[in-house]
Every structure is written in C-alpha cells, then in structure tokens.
C-alpha cells in the first residue's frame, strides 16, 4: 500500500500537478484522460518511477544479503567495492568518449556495469587466495582496499584529463533524470535475476547468520554459498549502478526496517526489504525533482542526507547493545 501511494504521488507531482484521479485515468489511458496527461505520465514519469522502484528494491535485496553474509547490520550493497569499480568505469567512458553499446547498455552504463562486475570478481579472487578461502574478513578487507584504490584512480583521471567535474559528479551522485523505458527494460532482467537468486538463497543465508561452524554443521558448503551470494549481489549492484549512478543508504536502511517488521528470517525479510527499498527510492526521487522547482537534486544527495543520520543513530544504539 505504501508503494502504491508513493508511485501515485510520484506520477502526480511535478511541474504539472495531477490528482490521483487524473493519474489513474492517464495510466489506464481512459477516455476521460487528457492527452497531455497521458504523455506526461507514460513518456516522462512512469518509466522513471518504475526504474526507481526497481533499483531501490534491488539495492535493498543486496543489502539484506550482505548483512546476512557478513553478519554485520552495518553492511550495505557497496561494501565490496562494486560502486568504486562502477565509478572508475563510468569516468573512463566519459573522459575517453567511448561510443560502444552492448547488451542494450550505452557507453557510460556499460563501462560502469563492467567495472562493477570486474571489481567484485577481483575482490572475491583476492579474498579466495587467502588461507581457508574467501572469509568474511577477507572479503571486507579486500573490498575496502579496492574501493580506496579505485576512488584514487577516479580522482587522478579527473585531474589528468582535465574533465568537467560537473559531468562526472552528476553521474556519480546518482539519479534518474532523463531515464526512459529503454533503461528500464535493459536493467530489468539483471536486477530481477539477481534479486530472485538472493531470495532463493534465503535458507543458506539464515544458516550463515549463525556462524560458519553452525552452517557447516547443517551441511552447507561455505565456499560455494559465499561465491553464489557475492555473484548474485554483485550482479544486482552492478546493474543498479549502471542505470542510476551511485545511490547510498537505501540498501542499508530498508533491510533494518524489514527486520523490525517481519524478523530476521530472510525468506520473509528479503521480499519486504525489496518493497521498502522501492518505497524509499521512489519517495526520494519524487522529492529530488520537486523540492527545488527550477533545479533537480541528485537522488544520491537526498539519500545520503537522510541515511547518514540514521546510520549514526544505528551505530550509537548498536554500540550500547554491545556494551551491555
């Protein structure tokens, strides 16, 4: 119900404001709908809103999976460096003027997609090379190191190529301005497949939250499960970042709210996280394009402004529980 309300608000608010009745009529293309309303809804707002819901839900699913995998409620979808790899790929594409199109992705989304997937693969390979395979600590350390290194490379490219920073940062801050049905259909298979795979691995995730010894005692192959989880979550993050840029905190906040509502069992928590992530990002995107009528705020700025205080509050309350 919250998602329906958020979608209706997103379709109705903007430079041309429409009430719920006009929105529904335009969506259904009924005889009573005005031609301009149909054009505004179907050509401009509906694909953008659906893409925001899809990306928000997918990031929430990846966040829930990483929190279970790392047994850390502070983990988010970008914890193993996928966003940094995407940022490097997009910066290279923008600075070099690439024009290739593959799998439906344009040059910048394609480079971001490839960069994110390559980073996840390298992080897992580095962690896997350690004693005992890809441990939780190994993945976290490798992801942190790769993220720092790739962020430094992005800064170097911006200075070396003397690129206009606004163009690059406009993409890095995330948003859905100018997104169309094409972006939605290109991202949908990847995001749906990755999120569905994470949901199907709910029981292994439940076992991993009890620790490696408990999971082994239940007959779970730790190495195979971690590989599948990292691959599926990495695919989700790569596709999401490719079409929307880097949007933080949605994948951190939504799983926590879902856990409060339905408990820690991933079979229920992941679908609820998906719905909540969709609600949060649709609401943030609506606010981003309506708060300042003449200027659209990058969605990543709003999610950071709202998610940052929540993150600090989470750290504070979690620290009190640990001290107790």
pLDDT in tens, 268-307: 999 999 999 999 999 999 999 998 877 888 898 899 888 8
Beta strands in the chain (DSSP E): none
Provide the pLDDT confidence category of residue 323 given band limits of 50, 70 and 90.
Answer: very low
Are residues 206 and 50 in contact, defined by beta-carbon separation less than 8 angstroms? no
Task: Count Cα neighbours of 44 within 13 Å in the Cβ-side half-sphere.
Answer: 17
Is residue 298 within 8 A of residue 167, CB to CB? The reply is: no
pLDDT of 10 reads: 96
Q: What confidence score (pLDDT) does residue 164 get?
A: 57
Rounded to whole angstroms, the Cα distance separating 298 from 289 reads 8
Are 236 and 195 in contact, with CB atoms under 8 Å apart? yes
What span, in angstroms and rounded, lies between the C-alpha atoms of 59 and 39? 30
> Angle at the Cα of 74 (from 115 to 202), degrees rounded to 5?
80
Q: Give backbone dihedrals phi and psi of 129, rounded to 5 degrees, phi first.
A: -75, -15
Greatest alpha-carbon pair distance for the chain in Å reads 68
With residue 210 as reference, give the H or E element that holds it.
Answer: none
Residue 105, SS3 per DSSP: strand
Start-to-end CA distance of the chain, whole Å, equals 38
In this prediction, residue 157 carries a pLDDT of 81
CATH number of the domain to which 287 belongs = 1.10.3470.10
Beta bridge partners of 170: none
Provide the β-strand partners of residue 102: 105
Q: Which two tokens stand for residue 3?
A: 């998602």
* % of the chain residues with pLDDT over 70: 92
pLDDT value of residue 78? 86
Task: Tell me which range, 40-49, 64-73, 146-155, is most confidently predicted by mean pLDDT.
Answer: 40-49
pLDDT score recorded for residue 4: 96
- pLDDT tens per residue, range 14-52: 888 999 999 999 999 998 899 999 999 999 999 999 999
Domain range holding 278? 2-323
Per DSSP, the residues of 7-44 read HHHHHH-SSS---HHHHHHHHHT-TTS-HHHHHIIIII
- Residue 37: enclosing H or E segment and its boundaries? helix 35-39
Residue carrying structure tokens 């409620």: 73
Residue 219 has pLDDT above 60, yes or no: yes
User: Alpha-carbon torsion 103, 173, 118, 222, what sign?
Assistant: negative
Q: How confident is the model at residue 155 (pLDDT cuts 50, 70, 90)?
A: confident
The DSSP code for 43 is I
Q: What is the pLDDT of residue 172?
A: 81
In the chain, how many domains are there? 1
Tell me what pLDDT residue 322 has. 43
pLDDT, one tens digit per residue, over 175-197 is 998 899 999 999 999 999 999 99
Number of alpha helices (DSSP H) and beta strands (DSSP E) in the chain: 15, 0
List the structure tokens of 4.
Answer: 């329906």
Tell me which residue of 93, 53, 74, 294 sits closest to 191, measured CA to CA: 53
Q: What is the DSSP letter of 33?
A: S
Decide if 247 contacts 62 (C-beta within 8 A): no
**244: which 2 tokens?**
């929307």
What phi and psi values does residue 105 have, to the nearest 5 degrees?
-80, 140
- Segment among 80-84, 163-167, 212-216 with least mean pLDDT: 163-167
């Amino acid at each position: 119900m919250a998602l329906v309300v958020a979608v209706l608000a997103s379709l109705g608010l903007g430079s041309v404001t429409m009430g719920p009745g006009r929105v529904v009529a335009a969506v259904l293309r009924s005889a009573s709908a005005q031609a301009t309303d149909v054009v505004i809804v179907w050509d401009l707002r509906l694909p953008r809103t659906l893409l925001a819901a899809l990306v928000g839900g997918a990031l929430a699913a990846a966040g829930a999976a990483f929190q279970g995998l790392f047994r850390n409620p502070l983990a988010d979808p970008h914890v193993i460096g996928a966003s940094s790899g995407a940022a490097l790929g997009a910066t290279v594409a923008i600075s070099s003027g690439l024009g290739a199109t593959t799998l439906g992705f344009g040059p910048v989304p394609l480079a971001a997609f490839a960069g994110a997937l390559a980073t996840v693969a390298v992080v897992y390979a580095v962690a896997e090379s350690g004693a005992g395979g890809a441990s939780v600590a190994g993945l976290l350390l490798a992801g942190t190191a790769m993220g720092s290194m790739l962020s430094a490379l992005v800064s170097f490219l911006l200075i070396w190529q003397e690129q206009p920073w606004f163009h690059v940062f406009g993409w890095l801050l995330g948003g859905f301005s100018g997104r169309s049905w094409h972006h939605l259909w290109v991202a949908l298979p990847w995001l749906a497949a990755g999120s569905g795979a994470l949901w199907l691995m709910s029981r292994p995730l439940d076992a991993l939250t009890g620790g490696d010894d408990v999971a082994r005692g239940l007959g779970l192959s730790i190495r195979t499960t971690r590989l599948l989880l990292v691959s599926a979550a990495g695919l989700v993050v790569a596709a999401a970042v490719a079409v929307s840029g880097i949007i933080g905190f949605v994948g951190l906040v939504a799983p926590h709210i879902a856990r409060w509502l339905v408990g820690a069992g991933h079979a229920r928590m992941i679908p609820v996280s998906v719905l909540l992530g969709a609600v949060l990002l649709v609401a943030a995107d609506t606010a981003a394009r309506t708060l300042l009528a003449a200027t659209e705020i990058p969605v990543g700025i709003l999610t950071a402004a709202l998610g940052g205080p929540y993150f600090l509050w989470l750290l504070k309350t979690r620290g009190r529980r640990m001290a107790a």
